[in-house]
Amino acid sequence: MSTQIPNLQQDFHSIMKNFENLFSQGNLSEVANFYSKNAMLLPAGTDFIEGRGAIEAYWQQALDMGIKSIRIDMMELEQHGNMATEVSRYTMLDAAGELIDQGKGIMIWKYDGDAWRMHRDIWTSNLAQ
């Protein structure tokens, strides 16, 4: 079944702003709920991070490392039935607003009948390691 959402780009922009706000507030249980039940993060330097509990723990580690805010700028969005792909740029900042990381990513979204949820999330840094 194809679910066509007329204001998909506007909806995703709103979803990501909510994600950014909840992350900056440290509300990681709500951040984890943006992901599908069997979601996976695919960050560099580690194996798959699978499921909401592991995703919440991963983002807690990011907060503990000093990342206090994330900004996601959508570059491209394409819907494929109940799935969508997003290409974006991200910026991660510390509490003083200083740059910690920036790069690009691809997100695969899945509509679960209730809401669009992040299903697969992969990103790479633009900064030299």
3 state DSSP class of 1:
coil
Phi, psi for residue 105 in degrees, rounded to 5: -155, 165
Tokens of 34: 């943006």
Distance CA 44, CA 38 (A): 19
Mean pLDDT of 86-112: 96
**Residue 5: its pLDDT value, please?**
53
Distance CA 43, CA 75 (A): 20
Cα 29 to its chain centre, rounded Å, is 14
Mean pLDDT of 19-46: 95
CA distances from 112 to 18, 81, 85 (A): 18, 11, 15
Higher-pLDDT residue of 49, 45: 49
**Among 66, 65, 79, residue whose Cα is nearest residue 107:** 79
Q: In the predicted model, is pLDDT for residue 4 greater than 90?
A: no
